[in-house]
Structure 1
Amino acid sequence: MRVGLDIGGTKTDAVAVTDDGALLHRLRLVTGSGPEAVVDTAVEAVRRLSTALAVPITSFASVGVGIPGLIVPGTGRVAHAVNLDVEELELGSILESRLGVPVTVENDVKAAALGAWQLLDGSGTMAYLNLGTGVAAGIVRDGVLWRGSSGIAGEVGHLSVDPLGDRCSCGQRGCVETMAAGGAVGTAWGGTAALPVLELFDHADAGDARAIALRKRLGHGAAAAIRILTLTVDADDIVLGGGLTALGERLLVVIREALAESATGSRFVASLQLEQRVRLVPSGSPVAAVGAALVGRGESSHG
């Protein structure tokens, strides 16, 4: 049995799986803020899984953790996990000492990519495009996660597609993230709703011109990311996950419309058949937590 933890800004999704990824138990906890609280949340999640399965913690072969931020390859060190109020944390080594089992730490989107591959029966090359507060992707080829030389492979959110566009948090202008990230879209829309992007879509459906324009811009931003992933890694499947996918088919329709529009003026883009490559992660699927568990399977220590 292996444990996978998806540590997010508000909740931690925890699973126990068999060595081939079959789900044995799943639970969720509220994630604490700050380094100490993040560690305590992870330990508590593993403890509750062991209790639910009536086995000691040391019977788990490994614990894998998917977490936002930069993960230094081979170290288990987390840096700049802003939503968790963590600037730097030796998460892998601390958890290993607390739990007594091998721990692997991976970026949450990359872990989710591996989970999507497993749960959606991936083949060839799959790209997992996360449309959440930010935009990023994870790439899996023949079941193996591709991290790149420094772990930033898939950071398509910070590719500039409009050099004269809005300023991005990374300092560039016109990044994909300024168009398609939930945070940027919500800020551009404003409003008072708890879920501003949902409110934007509702207003667009009602004919609000500004909402329609912002929704279209979101679709074009996501479509740009899909083209980038296709033209760089030629992904057979591009799976959409992240918070914005709670919109379901409403989001997919907007993205497919943008893809179709780009294909209309280019026989080359049309030949890529982008619309047929894109699908959504099933609602509620624990792809990130399962992927974290599978990352643990492939490493002997926090790497």
Structure 2
Amino acid sequence: MTGVRVGLDIGATKILGVVVAGDGTVLAQAREQTVAGPDGVLASAGAVLERLAEAVDGPLPPDVGVGVPGIVDRRRGAVKHAVNLGLGGDWFPLADQIGARAGALRHFGANTARSHFGANTARSHFGAGPARVTLENDLNAATWGAHVLSGADDLAYVSLGTGLAAGFVLDGVLRRGAHGAAGEIGHVPVDPAGELCSCGQKGCLELVASGSAASAAWPSRDVPPAQALFAAAAAGDPTAVAARDRFVDGVADAIRMLGLTVDPRTIILGGGVANLGAPLLDAVAGALRAQAATSPFLSSLDLASRLTLVPRGVPVGALGAAMIGDAG
């Protein structure tokens, strides 16, 4: 399985795993619900690895990339402050722990490892050595996945998920930042009189332009709130129209900020809200054109023409995690 790799995208609600070829082609996928806490996260990740081994009907490849929220020390393979995963303020050696579970699957595959050693023994018998695990922040992993998918070497990836953040590949290089805080645009204050943000500041952009903002503006139990909001606005509900326009203007503000600071050639919208597809893309592009209508300078930047979407259903985070070793 030369060049084949494994990627895990670990989130608060689910863990998505992929096996990919060297060119980024997805060969197999598996998904499990995330159980919070150190033992739960490891058990969930181990279940995904076992399902991937079953899907490829043989041993897993030696290279495993993992995208995880929180502060990541790539050299140590450790994460902290992944609070949504139940991993608190102390460094947790996630790479070694996942490597221990991938080791047996690397040598024997899921069925043989379980039948010869039992699930628990198989996961720990060989240690981390047989699997080379690379740990990365989940946004950076998704950004690299967007780079692999698009082929663009100068891009900003805007993640519209529970929160709002951006990742960058500039001149083919993943930009992480000196303190790992590059692209935390969701925590740029835009309204001094606004609500208190979870980061401790007031009026952050994330409170206007994120999945959480859409949920607060238009709560929904049956479908994702952003989808419900856009549907109600399309049906002519005046309250929904106002809420949608405020949301879209916030996303356009985020993109304008990126255009005026980083000036990326390509801007890719991803995250759960991006599953809206064309309605989101068209609305944000329209808001950008409206903002530029009275500014020849903004008009000359033509930000709307740089926008694109992650293809629906593509596991960009897991794909990026699998390929993150190429990012350096």
Normalized against structure 2, the TM-score is what? 0.84
Q: Which residue of structure 2 aligns with residue 2 of structure 1?
A: 5
Q: Any runs of at least 4 consecutive aligned residues in structure 1 with deviations exceeding 4 A, and if so which?
A: 191-194
Structure 2 counterparts to residues 208-219 of structure 1, below 5 A = 208-219=237-248
Q: Which residue of structure 2 aligns with residue 38 of structure 1?
A: 41
What do you get for the CA RMSD once the two structures are aligned? Answer: 1.8
Shift of 1:72: 3.0
- Any idea what the Cα deviations from partners look like across 1:179-203, whole Å, max 9, x if unmatched? 1111122113345544222222222
Q: Which residue of structure 1 aligns with residue 18 of structure 2?
A: 15
Higher relative contact order (CA 8 A, sep 6+): 1
Question: Aligned letter for 2:261?
Answer: T
Among 156, 177, 185, the alignment partner of 2:214 is 185
Q: Which residue of structure 1 aligns with residue 79 of structure 2?
A: 78
Instruction: Quote the sequence identity (%).
Output: 47
Do the aligned partners of 1:114 and 1:143 also contact (CA within 8 Å) in 2?
A: no
For residues 268 and 290 of structure 1, what CA distance do their matches in structure 2 show? 37
Q: Which residue of structure 1 aligns with residue 32 of structure 2?
A: 29
- Any idea what the Cα deviations from partners look like across 1:258-293, whole Å, max 9, x if unmatched? 111110121111111000011111100121111001
For residues 22 and 218 of structure 1, what CA distance do their matches in structure 2 show? 34
Q: Which residue of structure 1 aligns with residue 271 of structure 2?
A: 242
Normalized against structure 1, the TM-score is what? 0.91
For residues 38 and 225 of structure 2, what CA distance do their matches in structure 1 show? 29
Is residue 2:181 matched to residue 1:155? no
Q: Which residue of structure 1 aligns with residue 295 of structure 2?
A: 266
- Any idea what the Cα deviations from partners look like across 1:77-120, whole Å, max 9, x if unmatched? 22222332222532112222333311111111111110111112
- Any idea what the Cα deviations from partners look like across 1:39-86, whole Å, max 9, x if unmatched? 1222222232223223324xx231101122222343322222233222
Do the aligned partners of 1:62 and 1:297 also contact (CA within 8 Å) in 2?
A: no
For residues 239 and 81 of structure 2, what CA distance do their matches in structure 1 show? 34
Deviates more, 1:172-181 or 1:46-55: 46-55
- Any idea what the Cα deviations from partners look like across 1:147-181, whole Å, max 9, x if unmatched? 01111111111112222223221121221101111
Question: Aligned letter for 2:145?
Answer: G
Unaligned 5+ residue runs, structure 1? none
For residues 73 and 266 of structure 1, what CA distance do their matches in structure 2 show? 43
Q: Which residue of structure 1 aligns with residue 144 of structure 2?
A: 114
For residues 143 and 115 of structure 1, what CA distance do their matches in structure 2 show? 12
- Any idea what the Cα deviations from partners look like across 1:186-244, whole Å, max 9, x if unmatched? 11334554422222222212222221111111111111111121222211100000111
Unaligned 5+ residue runs, structure 2? 103-127
Is residue 2:78 matched to residue 1:48? no
Q: Which has the larger radius of gyration?
A: 2
Do the aligned partners of 1:73 and 1:150 also contact (CA within 8 Å) in 2?
A: no
For residues 215 and 2 of structure 1, what CA distance do their matches in structure 2 show? 40
Q: Which residue of structure 2 aligns with residue 95 of structure 1?
A: 98
